[in-house]
């Protein structure tokens, strides 16, 4: 209490000035329409500024939650598109049955991402307790990302497509010609599309999509566009450089895809391989 009295005594002149100023403003507002309008405008500005600051703070605090809701909504749409693409149906509500889907999609956040090494790995915030298993494929809204390598209860590591010696089945969207997509290091937005015969027509700007001839990525997921190609001294095959659609250096939200028929596919592939020996 003593420090309050000391403070008042120390600033008594300034406090008296503020008191008299307040009285003068009040009297002026009552006796003058002009002053009333001015005070109302000042009050409106102050009220608007304070309300905007509060609203901005609330929006920022709720941003994570709203982003999570949007991701879940996008996840539903992504699952519909992937499954309808895999069976060749149009994107209609009636053609989607969640109990009969071949691919189940789960959203996740990227908590760690490398893209400058020879063999790059991501870590996502979903694990075994979320139903994530080894070899599930991972995509983003712009294209493919990688394959789940290991899982713990709450996290999973993902082999990025920016991983040397890792090949992906892909094809030309227009002609349907298949090939292998790989990364030879260097730029994180460029890959090599190989094993495409020169009997197929290619041109700069053509779109490359996932081929669907594996147990991992569904077919038809956009990957990139042809940046350049060469068929000289290639033994009958193109050397094609691809510009990725996906920015793998700036990943936040991804989708994990569970192929419900993957085990059946792999078992049949293994049996066929053994029989052919």
Is there a contact between 86 and 118 (Cβ–Cβ < 8 Å)? no
| Termini Cα distance of the chain | 95
Q: Name residues whose C-beta falls within 8 Å of residue 237's C-beta, 6 or more positions apart in sequence.
A: 194, 195, 196, 197, 198, 231
Is the pLDDT at 100 greater than 60? The verdict is no
Least reliable range by pLDDT among 42-56, 144-158, 185-199? 42-56
With a cut of 80, say whether residue 66 has pLDDT above it: no
Q: Which residue has the higher pLDDT, 43 or 216?
A: 216
Instruction: Identify the weakest region by mean pLDDT among 14-23, 28-37, 70-79, 229-238.
Output: 28-37
Please, where are the H alpha helices in 195-253?
none
User: Over the stretch 109-162, which tens digit does the pLDDT of each residue have?
Assistant: 899 999 999 999 999 999 999 999 999 999 988 899 999 999 999 999 999 999
Residue 91: pLDDT band with limits 50, 70, 90: very low
Q: What does the pLDDT read at residue 261?
A: 76
- How far apart CA 177 and CA 171 sit, in angstroms, is 5
Q: What is the pLDDT of residue 102?
A: 80
More confident residue, 19 or 183: 183
Provide the token pair at 213: 């001839």
Give the other-Cβ count within 10 Å of 29's Cβ.
16
Class of domain 168-244: mainly beta
The pLDDT value given to residue 99: 46
Lowest mean pLDDT among 18-22, 204-208, 225-229: 18-22
Lowest mean pLDDT among 58-72, 179-193, 248-262: 58-72
What are the domain boundaries of the chain?
A: 2-61, 168-244
Q: How many residues does the chain have?
A: 277
pLDDT at 10 over 90: no
> What token pair was written down for 44?
């409106």
> How many DSSP H helices and E strands does the chain contain?
5, 12
pLDDT class of 191 with cuts at 50, 70, 90: very high
Kindly report the average pLDDT of the chain as a whole number: 78
The Cβ of residue 161 has, within 10 Å, a number of other Cβ atoms equal to: 25
């Amino acid at each position: 209490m003593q420090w309050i009295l000391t403070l008042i005594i120390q600033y008594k002149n300034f406090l008296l000035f503020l008191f008299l100023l307040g009285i003068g403003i009040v009297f002026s507002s009552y006796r003058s329409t002009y002053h009333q309008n001015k005070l109302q405008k000042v009050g409106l500005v102050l009220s608007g500024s304070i309300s905007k600051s509060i609203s901005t703070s609330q929006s920022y605090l709720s941003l994570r939650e709203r982003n999570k809701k949007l991701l879940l909504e996008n996840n539903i749409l992504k699952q519909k598109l992937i499954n309808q693409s895999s069976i060749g149906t149009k994107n209609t509500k009636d053609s989607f049955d969640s109990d009969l889907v071949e691919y189940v999609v789960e959203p996740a956040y990227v908590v760690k991402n490398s893209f400058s090494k020879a063999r790059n790995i991501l870590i996502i915030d979903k694990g075994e307790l979320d139903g994530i298993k080894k070899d599930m494929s991972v995509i983003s809204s712009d294209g493919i990302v990688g394959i789940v390598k290991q899982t713990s209860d709450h996290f999973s590591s993902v082999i990025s497509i920016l991983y040397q010696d890792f090949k992906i089945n892909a094809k030309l969207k227009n002609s349907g010609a298949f090939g292998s997509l790989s990364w030879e290091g260097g730029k994180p937005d460029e890959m090599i599309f190989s094993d495409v015969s020169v009997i197929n027509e290619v041109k700069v700007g053509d779109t490359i999509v996932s081929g669907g001839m594996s147990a991992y990525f569904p077919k038809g997921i956009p990957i990139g566009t042809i940046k350049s190609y060469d068929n000289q001294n290639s033994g009958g095959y193109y050397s094609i450089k691809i510009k990725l659609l996906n920015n793998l250096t700036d990943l936040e939200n991804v989708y994990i895809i569970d192929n419900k028929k993957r085990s059946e596919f792999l078992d049949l592939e293994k049996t066929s391989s053994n029989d052919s020996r």
